[in-house]
Amino acid sequence: MHKSKLAGFIVDCQTGDLRAAAHFWGDALGMEVQSLPGDEGRKYMRLIDPNALLHVEVQTVSHPSRVHLDIETDDIESEVKRLEGLGARRVQQVGTWWVMEAPTGHRFCVVSAEGSPDFASRARCWD
């Protein structure tokens, strides 16, 4: 039996100015904006949840702007198969995670829980 939980939200922004987009969303949500190191910092900026419950990032993308959520799990393949059983489909594997599409057309990602300090206490078990 694997465990999964909502990890957070990613604000996909079709923009040439990631910093401005991140600061808008940071101000709108009352969250501090944090730059990420290296190559990751060119595409993503983190928003710090003051309650430390959700992982929120602003991401620059080439597709139309939207918001997507991430599901964090200790077994990516098992979670992807469970979601496929509910009607989702695999769209693209990116590194170690999967971009999925719900039957409603919404995109979301299934990502690894590795390195998440509070994962075990907040995750739910799925058969």
Band of residue 19 on the pLDDT scale cut at 50, 70, 90: very high
pLDDT in tens, 55-98: 899 999 999 998 888 999 999 999 999 999 999 999 999 999 99
Backbone angles phi, psi at 27, to 5 degrees: -65, -40
**Cα four-point dihedral sign 8, 61, 95, 23:** negative
Q: What is the mean pLDDT of residues 4-23?
A: 91
Query: What is the set of domains in the chain, with CATH numbers?
Result: 2-126 (3.10.180.10)
Band of residue 123 on the pLDDT scale cut at 50, 70, 90: low
**Over 90: is that where the pLDDT of 29 sits?**
no
**Over 80: is that where the pLDDT of 118 sits?**
no
Whole-model pTM? 0.72
